[in-house]
């Protein structure tokens, strides 16, 4: 399993044109190697505090759109995907993740897989980036707050990861936890935060094993910017965005349904299932439509919301016979 993530060796005597150097520096940052003695000259530009990540990845293109792995809809520009988002560990403003997430150390990184599995273990950054066959998945992402985007993710199926650890027959749920490191996460130090850190999410095992459930390590062909959940995050495209937990450090297989962050905060507003559903409104707003980013005052770009965010053909069978208004 331990296929090493290859890191380029740079001789300190090497003289590098700035363009090449910049590319390499992005790579080193993404791999978390910024602390290595690289070529630092007077011409070194200020490090971008908006975009981290960005090492090129090798991946396969989706074979067809029939399985929902791709869409013809226009992808949301990289600048919007990385500038506007929720990552409460860095603050509640939509710009806070882009502003502060560069403070998060993503190398070294360990992802523990434990609980009801025959082979509990740990994946390190090199296993995460080099140990799985990467694919591009172009998914819609619909936030419960009624904004949405289309993101070309790079990653692998959560099922591929779970199978390696051999879930036991009694495992019925999967719990996920985000990194909780107060020194690097200003939002977790905020006195106004009511979240019981770490951020937690969960899926039923059959939802987790569905081929659409993705562990993303990149977007737009490169490693994830920190604000989008580097180095590895979950993406469940038929559920509201809060299920797509970022910067995952722990996956635990369970017999019982886990308590999740938003459900614990406001159980009447955010349920465990959180399937996108235009017919079941949030208690404080309608879920019938959404603002597709980029969205401005003059061009709000409001579009109808689709059942299961447009993935009904793929996932509706998982909820056969369930009352979706009660199991929101």
Ligand X SMILES: Nc1nc2c(c(=O)[nH]1)N[C@H]1C(S)=C(S)[C@@H](COP(=O)(O)O)O[C@H]1N2
Beta pairing partners, 4:
none
Contact 269, 246 (CB under 8 A): no
Tell me the window of 29-37, 87-95, 110-118, 263-271 that interacts with ligand X (CB under 6 A).
Answer: 87-95
E strands present in the chain: 110-115, 121-124, 135-142, 147-157, 173-178, 200-204, 214-219, 222-223, 233-235, 248-254, 289-292, 302-304
Which CB, 80 or 160, lies closer to ligand X?
80
Q: Which of 139, 165, 176, 242 binds Mo ion (CB under 5 A)?
A: 242
Contact 204, 108 (CB under 8 A): no
Smallest distance from Mo ion to CB 90, Å: 14
Site string for ligand X, 216-235 (x = CB under 6 A): ------------xx------
Q: Which of 54, 152, 241, 310 binds ligand X (CB under 6 A)?
A: 241
CA distances from 107 to 53, 155, 200, 256 (A): 11, 18, 21, 32
Residue corresponding to tokens 């899926």: 203
Which CB, 157 or 261, lies closer to ligand X?
261
User: For the stretch 155-168, what's the b/e string if a residue is b when 16 or more beta carbons lie within 10 angstroms of its beta carbon?
Assistant: bbbbbbbbebbebe
Interaction between residue 241 and Mo ion (CB under 5 A) = yes
Q: Which of 199, 220, 273, 328 binds ligand X (CB under 6 A)?
A: 199
Distance, in Å, from the CA atom of 195 to the CA atom of 235, rounded to the nearest integer, reads: 21
Smallest distance from ligand X to CB 200, Å: 9
Q: What is the CA radius of gyration of the chain?
A: 20
* Distinct helix (H) and strand (E) counts, the chain: 9, 12
Question: Any residues with CB less than 8 A from the CB of 16 and at least 6 apart, and which?
Answer: 24, 39
Nearest CA to 110 out of 54, 158, 207, 177 is that of: 177
3-state helix, strand, coil in the chain (%, to 5): 25, 20, 55
Site string for Mo ion, 45-84 (x = CB under 5 A): ----------------------------------------
Tell me the window of 36-44, 45-53, 82-90, 164-172 that interacts with ligand X (CB under 6 A).
Answer: 82-90
Site string for ligand X, 136-155 (x = CB under 6 A): -----x-x------------
Which CB, 21 or 199, lies closer to ligand X?
199
Tell me the window of 123-131, 142-150, 207-215, 252-260 that interacts with Mo ion (CB under 5 A).
Answer: 142-150
Smallest distance from Mo ion to CB 124, Å: 29
Which CB, 173 or 242, lies closer to Mo ion?
242
Judged by beta carbon distances under 5 to 8 A according to partner kind, the member of Mo ion, ligand X, none in contact with residue 76 is none
Interaction between residue 178 and ligand X (CB under 6 A) = yes
What does the binding site for ligand X look like in residue numbers (CB under 6 A)? 85-89, 141, 143, 178, 199, 228-229, 241-242, 244-247
Chain contacts with Mo ion (rule: CB under 5 A): 86, 143, 241-242
């Amino acid at each position: 399993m331990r296929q090493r993530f290859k890191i380029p060796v740079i001789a300190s005597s090497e003289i590098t044109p700035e363009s090449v150097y910049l590319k390499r520096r992005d790579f080193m940052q993404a791999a978390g190697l910024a602390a290595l003695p690289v070529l630092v000259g007077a011409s070194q530009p200020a490090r971008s505090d908006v975009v981290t990540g960005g090492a090129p990845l090798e991946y396969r293109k989706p074979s067809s759109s029939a399985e929902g792995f791709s869409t013809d809809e226009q992808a949301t520009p990289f600048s919007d995907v990385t500038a506007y988002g929720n990552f409460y560990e860095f603050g509640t403003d939509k710009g806070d993740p882009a502003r502060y997430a560069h403070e998060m150390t993503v190398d070294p990184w360990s992802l523990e897989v434990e609980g009801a599995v025959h082979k509990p273990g740990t994946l390190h950054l090199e296993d995460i980036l080099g140990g799985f066959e990467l694919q591009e998945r172009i998914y819609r992402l619909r936030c419960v707050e009624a904004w949405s985007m289309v993101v070309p993710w790079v990653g692998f199926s959560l099922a591929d990861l779970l199978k390696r650890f051999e879930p036991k027959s009694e495992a019925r749920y999967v719990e996920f936890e985000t990194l909780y490191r107060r020194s690097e996460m200003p939002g977790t130090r905020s006195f106004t935060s009511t979240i019981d850190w770490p951020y937690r999410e969960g899926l039923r095992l059959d939802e987790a094993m569905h081929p659409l459930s993705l562990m993303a390590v990149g977007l737009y062909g490169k490693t994830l910017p920190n604000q989008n959940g580097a180095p590895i995050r979950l993406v469940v495209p038929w559920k509201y965005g809060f299920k797509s937990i970022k910067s995952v450090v722990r996956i635990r297989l369970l017999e019982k349904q886990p308590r999740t962050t938003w459900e614990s905060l406001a159980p009447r507003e955010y349920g465990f299932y959180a399937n996108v559903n235009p017919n079941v409104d949030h208690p404080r707003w309608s879920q019938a439509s959404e603002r597709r980013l980029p969205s401005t005052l003059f061009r709000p770009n409001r579009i109808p919301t689709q059942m299961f965010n447009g993935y009904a053909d793929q996932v509706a069978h998982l909820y056969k016979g369930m009352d979706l208004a009660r199991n929101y």
